[in-house]
């Protein structure tokens, strides 16, 4: 459990660096933290501090939003991203990913 928490902490540190109005993919975060996109998803699903760890800025590699976004679903993820100036059409981010 301690090993997994260290991985989650690395993921949270990287996600916290994503600037407002930008996105990163699960895969990009995985590469930066030495894990897999699936583990990134698990960590973000367990995020206890969404105000400081903006997991809404993490999207799928094809630009689509996470249907299972834990803090209100894809609609809430979209609302947060659009409020930050990210273009989202049909639940797909239209602006480039800028980690």
Domain ranges (residues) in the chain: 2-93
CATH topology of domain 2-93: Arc Repressor Mutant, subunit A (1.10.10)
Q: Which residues are catalytic?
A: 55
Beta bridge partners of 88: 93
- Mean pLDDT within 5-22: 96
| Span 44-97, pLDDT tens digits | 999 999 889 999 999 999 999 988 777 877 789 999 999 999 999 999 999 655
State residue 67's pLDDT score: 83
Cα-trace Rg, the chain? 12
Spatial separation of the C-alpha atoms in residues 69 and 75, rounded to whole Å: 9
Q: Using the CB atoms, write b or e for 30-67: b if 16+ within 10 Å.
A: bebbebebebbbebbeebeeeeebbbbbbbbeebebbe
Q: Residue 45 to residues 23, 41, 71, 96: CA-CA distances in angstroms?
A: 17, 6, 9, 24
Both structure tokens of 27: 């895969």
């Amino acid at each position: 459990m301690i090993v997994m928490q260290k991985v989650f902490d690395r993921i949270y540190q990287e996600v916290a660096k994503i600037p407002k109005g930008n996105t990163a993919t699960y895969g990009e975060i995985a590469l930066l933290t030495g894990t897999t996109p699936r583990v990134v998803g698990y960590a973000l699903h367990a995020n206890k501090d969404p105000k400081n760890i903006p997991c809404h800025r993490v999207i799928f590699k094809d630009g689509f939003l996470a249907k299972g976004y834990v803090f209100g679903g894809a609609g809430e993820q979209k609302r947060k991203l659009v409020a930050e100036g990210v273009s989202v059409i049909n639940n797909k981010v239209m602006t480039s990913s800028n980690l």
